[in-house]
Structure 1
Amino acid sequence: MLTRYLPVFLILALLAEILGTVGGFGSSVFFVPVANFYFDFQTVLGITAVFHLSSNLTKIAFFRKGLDKMLILYLGIPAVIFVSIGAVLSKHINPTLLGLILGVFLIVLSLVFLIFKKLVVKDSNKNAITGGILSGLSAGLLGTGGAIRGITMTAFKMDKATFIATSAVIDFGVDASRAVVYYYNGYMKAEHLYIAVFLVVVAILGTWIGKQILNRFSQEQFRTFVLVLILLIGIASVVAEYVKL
């Protein structure tokens, strides 16, 4: 069935990668709910991990002007540990329930950022560790944790290139860890491997386009637009999963 709609799916994945790069939230916040319309939620988790691995390698290559090594240590290590815990838990929770939780999560997250536009987290090692734990657990359980990591990282006042590169390095470790767990959970199916090849190309192209946009406009100019999209996607996800009940 997906083969028939593959071009539409890949275009949506490309848009997710562009918006994720420009908005600073990561592509999974858009890709997971989109993919959920085509696959069961557990398969979505497996495909997202593969898609994100290539996406993050591309971001590291395109935005390699510096890394915040201390943030990688304090935020990245807890994220890698807790993404595995979330990935293990995902096998024991009803996929439809996970889809509903994802939709509610996106709605609440977008509304919080839209209402409290100046929301920031204090730049402390304790908050970096907490952000890593929450973003990792969310990524393993729901497939997306970039928004939590993003709001934590903004407290450390990095330039755009350093922010994206540092986030990509952390995310790469997160995706590599959960990909192993998802594989043993049986989320990565042989019949979907051909899609992963297309998604690698989509990740490279989408990141490149996102970089060109960021070179011409500020990240803040797109932030509200991206948050409204996340809100709409969250609502659509809740409606779609409610229909399945």
Structure 2
Amino acid sequence: MIELFGYSLSYATLSLLFVVAFFIGLAKTGVHGASMFAVPILALIFGGKTSSGLMLPMLILADLFAVKYYHRHANWQYLMKLFPSAAVGVVIGTLLGSSIDDEAFRLMMGIIIFASLAIMLWMEKANKDKIPDYTWFAILMGTLGGITTMIGNLAGSVMALYLLSMRLPKNVYIGTAAWFFLVINLFKVPFHVFSWHTISINSFLLNLICLPVIALGAWAGIEVVKRIPEKQYRWMILAMTAIAAVFMVI
């Protein structure tokens, strides 16, 4: 066992933490389904709600790498539609998360992944074109994104549903998502610190030792995305979400 900032971790657990950090870096720079593997791994080690607070600073660190590389590709028209309702969703998610236990928390994570995946696959199979850019749709997706990002850091699948439905080009999709999650994740920090008490100095120090691994994952994600054509990139996101959804409930 290793004592790190108040945490007693085995070598296996520490290795899994680094795997999570790598997946987070990989996901934030374009291989978005990879973060779905990180969520259940961390939840199994630390519990649902505690793991969401431990993961948040790692997500923010990875968001910074993603914004640095893809910032020029962001579509701010979509972002400005999403931010207000996403903030409301974070507040709703905070209230929901404060009233449920870890088991129910994980069940909600699984339901969110499967529901989002089913809609995404239906859209692809039905060969649906871009959903009309209605304000109500942006408000709905922003609210769901805010709720799901607070409950288990699982807004990736919701945002994938919205941004893929807008038929954004690969780099615009990644850049828009990068800015969305950086802003919303920073907005979530006070709720984790003062309401859920899931972020502390010790947990943040544990996050910092993962920074080199997050950076490695971010670099790997950039290199992978460069080599994937537009159409195959869409299916990669769907496939990785499907695999991770199964992993979440077994």
Q: Same fold (TM over 0.5)?
A: yes
Summarize the Cα distance change of 1:171–1:113 in structure 2 as closer, same or farther, 3 Å threshold.
same
Q: C-alpha distance in 2, partners of 1:228/1:15?
A: 16
Q: C-alpha distance in 2, partners of 1:67/1:20?
A: 14
Shift of 1:52: 1.3
> Is structure 2 residue 102 aligned with structure 1 residue 95?
yes
Q: Which amino acid aligns with 2:186?
A: A
Gaps of 5+ in 1: 240-245
Summarize the Cα distance change of 1:219–1:198 in structure 2 as closer, same or farther, 3 Å threshold.
farther
Shift of 1:74: 0.6
Runs of 4+ in 1 over 6 A off after TM superposition: none
2:178 to 168, 174, 189: 168
1:152 to 162, 184, 194: 162
Q: Which amino acid aligns with 2:30?
A: V
What's the TM-score once normalised by structure 2's chain length? 0.83
What's the TM-score once normalised by structure 1's chain length? 0.85
Partner secondary structure for residue 31 of structure 1: helix
Identity percentage of aligned residues? 18
State the number of aligned residues.
238
Shift of 1:2: 2.9
* 2:191 aligned residue: 181
Summarize the Cα distance change of 1:207–1:78 in structure 2 as closer, same or farther, 3 Å threshold.
same
Q: C-alpha distance in 2, partners of 1:169/1:229?
A: 22
Does structure 1 conserve the Cα–Cα contact (< 8 Å) formed by 2:27 and 2:218?
Answer: no
Deviations along 1:173-215, one digit per CA (max 9) or x if unpaired, are 2111211101112111444333211333333322221111111
Q: C-alpha distance in 2, partners of 1:106/1:230?
A: 8
Does structure 2 conserve the Cα–Cα contact (< 8 Å) formed by 1:72 and 1:170?
Answer: yes
Q: Which amino acid aligns with 2:227?
A: R
Stretch of structure 1 that moved more, 194-203 or 54-63: 194-203
> Is structure 2 residue 55 aligned with structure 1 residue 44?
no
2:23 to 15, 35, 39: 15
* 1:211 aligned residue: 222
* 1:84 aligned residue: 91
Deviations along 1:110-146, one digit per CA (max 9) or x if unpaired, are 3443354245532223211221111111111232112
Q: Which amino acid aligns with 1:139?
A: T
Shift of 1:47: 1.6
Q: C-alpha distance in 2, partners of 1:19/1:169?
A: 14
* 2:121 aligned residue: 114
Shift of 1:223: 4.2
RMSD: 2.4
Q: C-alpha distance in 2, partners of 1:223/1:158?
A: 10
Q: C-alpha distance in 1, partners of 2:104/2:46?
A: 15
Partner secondary structure for residue 209 of structure 2: helix
Does structure 2 conserve the Cα–Cα contact (< 8 Å) formed by 1:28 and 1:143?
Answer: no
Partner secondary structure for residue 64 of structure 1: helix
Does structure 1 conserve the Cα–Cα contact (< 8 Å) formed by 2:169 and 2:230?
Answer: no
Shift of 1:219: 4.7
1:189-228 alignment runs, 5 A limit? 189-228=200-239
Shift of 1:222: 4.5
Q: C-alpha distance in 2, partners of 1:213/1:42?
A: 31
Q: C-alpha distance in 1, partners of 2:234/2:164?
A: 13
